[in-house]
Amino acid sequence: MKKINLKTIVIIVVMLVVIVLGVVAVTQAKIFISGATSDVEPNNVVAASSEDGKSATIAWTSEKESIGKIEYGTTAASLVLMMADSVATTNHSLVLNQLRPGTNYYYRIRVGDEVFDDGGMPFIFKTKGEMVSTATPVPTTAVAGAPLATVSPAPNKTVCDTKTDYNKDGVTNSLDIITCKNQGGIVPTQAPSASKIDCTKIISDYNSDGVVNSLDRINCLQSQR
């Protein structure tokens, strides 16, 4: 029977040690790359919105007591808001306040330098209720040549017209419109005429001074420019 010398035994032992160390190193590298630390990794992650949609509770458990943080926001790329545990615990429950109803929120959990999410993407939940629109109403601009809106009279208000002798002087003219307005009547907004007014035929009190004269012709001409 051939004897195995001491040198061969030492070589075999060294090779076995190297193999074991290699396996351990690979395992640790996998844990480091995946960012998973079993004793603080979040389990049973649940997000629950309040009925009014203005708050939500994020809860999870961990094997080891730790201080967890929630980083959240309304888009996956801007998790700029934060809420953290006040003490180390294995049963985590954080309430996020001042949320918008009917809105998607994205979040991830951070424990120390470790970040935990949903397979490389943030967790997501939606608050209850209907989304409140924050859009600013766009003011309507009148287009030149377009008819202007007619003023709707309020209840029991008279709509002034040019065919009624409001001042009872036997003549229907612009003074009647003034009398109607003074009595609380409403003058509807007229659509601009497609053609210019003949200012040489003055029949209206353009400057509203109660008298139809040459000053009204001047005001009429200026309005045609």
Per the prediction, the chain carries an average pLDDT of: 77
Q: How confident is the model at residue 151 (pLDDT cuts 50, 70, 90)?
A: very low
d(C-alpha 141, C-alpha 138), whole Å: 9
In sequence order, the 6+-apart residues with CB closer than 8 A to the CB of 193 are none
Residue type, 127: T
Residue pair 55/97 in contact by the 8 Å Cβ criterion: yes
Each domain of the chain, given as residue ranges in start order, spans 43-126
For the CA atoms of the chain, what is the radius of gyration? 41
- Above 60 in pLDDT, residue 154? no
pLDDT tens for residues 98-121?
Answer: 999 999 999 999 999 999 999 999
Among 47-51, 142-146, 197-201, the minimum mean pLDDT is found in 142-146
Closest-CA residue to 107 (of 135, 130, 141, 73): 73
Domain 43-126 sits in CATH 1.10.1740.10: no
Task: Give pLDDT, residue 75.
Answer: 94
The first and second tokens of residue 163, run together, are: 């065919």
**pLDDT tens digits for 13-43?**
788 888 878 776 766 655 555 444 578 999 9
Q: What is the mean pLDDT of residues 196-202?
A: 62
Average the pLDDT over each of 58-62, 72-76, 87-91, 166-170 and give the range with the smallest value: 166-170
Q: Is the pLDDT of residue 142 over 50?
A: no
Predicted confidence at residue 33, as pLDDT, reads 52
**Greater confidence, 149 or 95?**
95
